[in-house]
Structure 1
Amino acid sequence: MNKKTLVAAVSTGALLLGLTACSADGSTSGAGSTAAADATSCSNTIVYPDAPKVSVWAWYPNINTVVDLFNKAHKDVQVCWSNAGQGGDEYAKFSTAIAAGTGAPDVIMLEDEVLPGFELQKALVDLTKYGSDDVKANFSSGAWKDVSSGSSVYAIPVDGGPMAMIYRKDIFTKYGITIPTTWAEYEAAAVKLKAAGGPFMGDFGSNVPAWFTALMTQNGQTAWKYDNSSPQSIGIALNDAGSKEVATYWQGLISQGLVDTKDQFNTDYVGGMASGKYATYISAAWAPGYLSGNGGAATGPGAEWAVAPLPQWDTSKPVSVNWGGSTLAVTTQAKDPALATTVAKELYASDAELKDGVDTQTIFPLSKSVLDAEWFASTPVAFFNGQKANGEVYIPAENAYKGYTYSPFTTYYYSELTKAMVTIIKQTSTGEKALDDLQSTMSTYAKAQGFTVQ
């Protein structure tokens, strides 16, 4: 297998979709030490200097608070945290450390989607050897599947992005739009809006391939069959009938002028969200935190955001999908893998740490201690004008999520899917042909990397 090429595919420049999905501020860069930490490289205070230290790279906006809470509560181990950048910035530095055989931290924050690529490089520790099953019951089966490969577990889940439909309640009221429960109803509402001179129903941006992947998964796509116990074998199914139906559906909305085609996660797009350019935002549970932190609160007389469950293809067989999510993994350069695993299991795990993440709108926690808590379900969400969005929408969506199998070359796949989405937007290809071409491209790429394509 051509590992050099695969490393490049894993660490190629960050895609905005994945990065923003895990951060309330949407930043994609960060400065900090990239060396394996000692006490002098920490960005935090070590409370018990005589305790062994575990170095951690992580980027959450409130991670400094969480680390302080952890260190005050642990006399047996201290976290030495530094920010090596968010998402792709961190991954590039991690790949450099992997190639050099030195310089990686003991514990690293990684998005779910990049785990298989780093697993293939033997950069991550199988945590089943160090008691990961001790905390398995703390998470849903879907969240646990996202961090597993076969019988191995390579990270501890922290946060996720169960998807839903955020909508402008004032716009729906003004134009007499009923909350759509199916994608057919969503299109009908879009037609009604346009006929009345209303705003776009939503947006199909080419820079959100993880979003598009989730929507195809909702309609039955099983893109990848991959288990790193057979690391050179992969199944690829990107052009199934359900996925083609989704691609054709969105291309139809675009051709009718019912949805916009602007790139997301930029000032103009967020401004358009706030000003009422879009009636809906098909997004994930982290979106309220992202939007509120970037000026996306609804503006104008009576303006108000609300949230409803994601429209379905078949309401008798509802499917929950996820966009975004972060984990804590132990690297193979960890000085003490057992102690590092303890940190991965217990950092962002206490009630105080999790509640701080919720209160600062930094994360949508995957720990059942929060998901099952009445306070979390019943808390009014200010962004939604007091709607109890967690209990009504996001918790049920997360509990119904079945998990996803990622490929070991997610970044390359997202890059190629982005190209396919551009052809759909520009109408230079049909949605069906775009996915047929994507299937061919990814199969050829996998074979070039030494994989046997099933």
Structure 2
Amino acid sequence: MKTTSLLAVVSAGALLVTLAGCSPDVSAGTSTDSAGGDAGSCSNTIVNKDAPQVSVWAWYPNINTVVDMFNKSHDDVQVCWSNAGQGADEYAKFSTAIAAGTGAPDVVMLEAEVVPGFILQDALVDLSEHGADDVKANFSAGAWKDVSSGDSVYAIPVDGGPMAMIYRADIFAKYGIAIPKTWDEYAAAAQQLKDAGGPFMGDFGSNVPAWFTALMTQNGQTAWDYDSSDPQKIGIDLNDAGSKKVADYWQDLVKKGLVDTKDQFNTDYIGGLTNGSYATYVSAAWAPGYLTGAGAGATGDGAEWQAAPLPQWDPANPVSVNWGGSTFAVTTQAKDKDLAATVAKELYASDEELQDGVDTQTIFPLNQKMLASDAFADTPVKFFNGQTANKDVYIPAENAYKGYTYSPFTTYYYSELTKSMVSIIDGSKSGSESLDDLQKTMTDYAKAQGFTVK
């Protein structure tokens, strides 16, 4: 296996989307005690100074509050938290520490999609050997599959992104648009809006490859056949008939001028959502937190956002998909792996800690204790003008999610898929042709990295 080449790709940056605000960057210090923590490098207060410390890298906006809650409630272990950057910035530092054999934290926050790449670098501990089953029942089967490979478990889920369609009820009412239950109905509504001189129905930006992957998965794509117990073999299927149908569908919407093609996650796009340039935002459960945080009032004057289930290809066989989500993993540099596993399992897991995340609209929790609580399900969501969106839309979507098998080279795949999306948008290739080329590119790449393609 050419792990050196793969390491370089993982380190290069993952084109991973920031889902929420980022805490200031605080460099992690060198571990000094038996569990890897160093009070001098902590960005938080150590409450029980006699307890062993576990160093943690994480970037949740409210992680400092959650760490304080954890430390106040634990006499057996204390978290020494640092922010080593968000997403790709943290991953680059983590990869450097892996290559150097030192400098990694005991516990690291990772998006689920990058976990297999770090498994391949021998950077993560198999938590099935450190009590992962103790908390398995706290999560849906889909959430657990996202962090598993075969019989092994490499991270503990914390938050996720069950997908839905949020829409401007005021715009729908103005133009007499019915809530689309299928993608055919979505296209018809888009045409109705255009014919009436209304706004775009939505957006197909080239910088959201994880979003596009989720939509292709909804129509049957099983892109990767991969198991870390047999790490040199991989199956790749990116140009199946269902995926081509999705690619051609969105290209048709673009050609007809029914959806915009702006890159997402920037001020122009947020402004468009605010001022009514888009009738829908096909997104995930973290969208309200993102829009209110990044948009600072993305509701706009008179805007009435509501949530609805994601449109389906076959309403008789609905499929739930996920976009985004983070985990806690134990690194192979952790000196006390059992203690580090305790932190991975219990940080951001108590009722109090989860509730803070919900209250601040930071996360959509995957812990079933929270999802099953009346307080979470029945709470009116301010962003959705009092709609009980969790109960109506997001909890059913999460519980119906079956999980996903990620590839060990998500970084490179997203980079190449972005190029394919650009060709779909500019019409230089059909959607089907773009996916055929992507299939060849990824197959050739896997072989060049030393994989046997099944």
TM over 0.5: yes
2:198 alignment partner in structure 1: 198
Shift in Å, 1:334? 0.1
Contact 2:167 2:279 in 1 (8 A): yes
2:364 maps to 1:369: no
Specify every segment of 5 or more residues in structure 1 that has no aligned partner in the other structure, as ranges: none
User: Is the partner of 1:319 in helix, strand or coil?
Assistant: coil
**How does 1:267-416 map onto structure 2 within 5 Å?**
267-295=267-295, 297-300=298-301, 302-416=302-416
Contact 1:180 1:186 in 2 (8 A): yes
Question: Quick one: distance in 2 between partners of 1:334 and 1:433?
Answer: 46
**How does 1:3-402 map onto structure 2 within 5 Å?**
3-15=3-15, 18-21=16-19, 23=20, 25=21, 27=22, 30-33=25-28, 35-36=30-31, 37-295=37-295, 297-300=298-301, 302-402=302-402
User: Is the partner of 1:252 in helix, strand or coil?
Assistant: helix
Amino acid at match of 1:362: T
Question: Quick one: distance in 2 between partners of 1:29 and 1:64?
Answer: 11
| Cα 1:69/1:182, change in 2 over 3 Å | same
Q: TM-score, normalised by structure 1?
A: 0.97
Question: Quick one: distance in 1 between partners of 2:71 and 2:411?
Answer: 35
2:430 maps to 1:430: yes
- What whole-Å deviation, never above 9, does each CA across 1:13-55 have from its counterpart, x for those lacking one? 241xx3323x2x2x49734225444110000000010100000
- What whole-Å deviation, never above 9, does each CA across 1:343-384 have from its counterpart, x for those lacking one? 000000100000000000010000001010111010011111
Q: How many residues align?
A: 448
Question: Quick one: distance in 1 between partners of 2:48 and 2:237?
Answer: 52
User: Is the partner of 2:109 in helix, strand or coil?
Assistant: strand
Amino acid at match of 1:298: T
Amino acid at match of 1:427: G
Question: Quick one: distance in 2 between partners of 1:52 and 1:31?
Answer: 21
Amino acid at match of 1:42: C
Question: Quick one: distance in 1 between partners of 2:5 and 2:62?
Answer: 35
User: Is the partner of 2:59 in helix, strand or coil?
Assistant: coil
Question: Quick one: distance in 2 between partners of 1:223 and 1:408?
Answer: 12
User: Is the partner of 2:137 in helix, strand or coil?
Assistant: helix
Q: TM-score, normalised by structure 2?
A: 0.97
Specify every segment of 5 or more residues in structure 2 that has no aligned partner in the other structure, as ranges: 32-36
Question: Quick one: distance in 2 between partners of 1:35 and 1:418?
Answer: 37
| Cα 1:152/1:136, change in 2 over 3 Å | same
Q: Which runs of 4+ in 1 moved over 4 A?
A: none
Which deviates more, 102-111 or 3-12? 3-12
Question: Quick one: distance in 2 between partners of 1:249 and 1:28?
Answer: 38
Question: Quick one: distance in 1 between partners of 2:161 and 2:303?
Answer: 25
Question: Quick one: distance in 1 between partners of 2:373 and 2:418?
Answer: 39
Question: Quick one: distance in 2 between partners of 1:34 and 1:379?
Answer: 41
2:441 alignment partner in structure 1: 441
Shift in Å, 1:9? 1.6
Question: Quick one: distance in 2 between partners of 1:253 and 1:137?
Answer: 42
Question: Quick one: distance in 2 between partners of 1:34 and 1:419?
Answer: 38
Amino acid at match of 1:32: S
User: Is the partner of 2:80 in helix, strand or coil?
Assistant: strand
Amino acid at match of 1:149: S
User: Is the partner of 1:125 in helix, strand or coil?
Assistant: coil
Question: Quick one: distance in 1 between partners of 2:53 and 2:310?
Answer: 43
Amino acid at match of 1:433: E
User: Is the partner of 2:246 in helix, strand or coil?
Assistant: helix
User: Is the partner of 2:199 in helix, strand or coil?
Assistant: coil
User: Is the partner of 2:17 in helix, strand or coil?
Assistant: helix
- What whole-Å deviation, never above 9, does each CA across 1:226-248 have from its counterpart, x for those lacking one? 00110000000000000000000
Question: Quick one: distance in 1 between partners of 2:225 and 2:163?
Answer: 23
Amino acid at match of 1:30: D
- What whole-Å deviation, never above 9, does each CA across 1:201-226 have from its counterpart, x for those lacking one? 00000000000000000000000000
User: Is the partner of 1:294 in helix, strand or coil?
Assistant: helix
Contact 2:200 2:258 in 1 (8 A): yes
Percent identical = 75
Contact 1:19 1:28 in 2 (8 A): no
Contact 2:17 2:208 in 1 (8 A): no
Question: Quick one: distance in 2 between partners of 1:328 and 1:54?
Answer: 13
Contact 1:34 1:84 in 2 (8 A): no
Contact 1:380 1:388 in 2 (8 A): yes
| Cα 1:245/1:28, change in 2 over 3 Å | farther
User: Is the partner of 1:138 in helix, strand or coil?
Assistant: coil
User: Is the partner of 1:245 in helix, strand or coil?
Assistant: helix
Contact 2:24 2:83 in 1 (8 A): no
Contact 2:54 2:340 in 1 (8 A): yes
| Cα 1:174/1:34, change in 2 over 3 Å | farther
Contact 2:23 2:60 in 1 (8 A): no
2:34 alignment partner in structure 1: none
Shift in Å, 1:342? 0.3
User: Is the partner of 2:64 in helix, strand or coil?
Assistant: helix
Contact 1:20 1:28 in 2 (8 A): no
User: Is the partner of 1:189 in helix, strand or coil?
Assistant: helix
Question: Quick one: distance in 2 between partners of 1:185 and 1:228?
Answer: 40
Amino acid at match of 2:28: S
User: Is the partner of 1:157 in helix, strand or coil?
Assistant: strand
- What whole-Å deviation, never above 9, does each CA across 1:134-176 have from its counterpart, x for those lacking one? 1000000000000000000000000000000000000000000
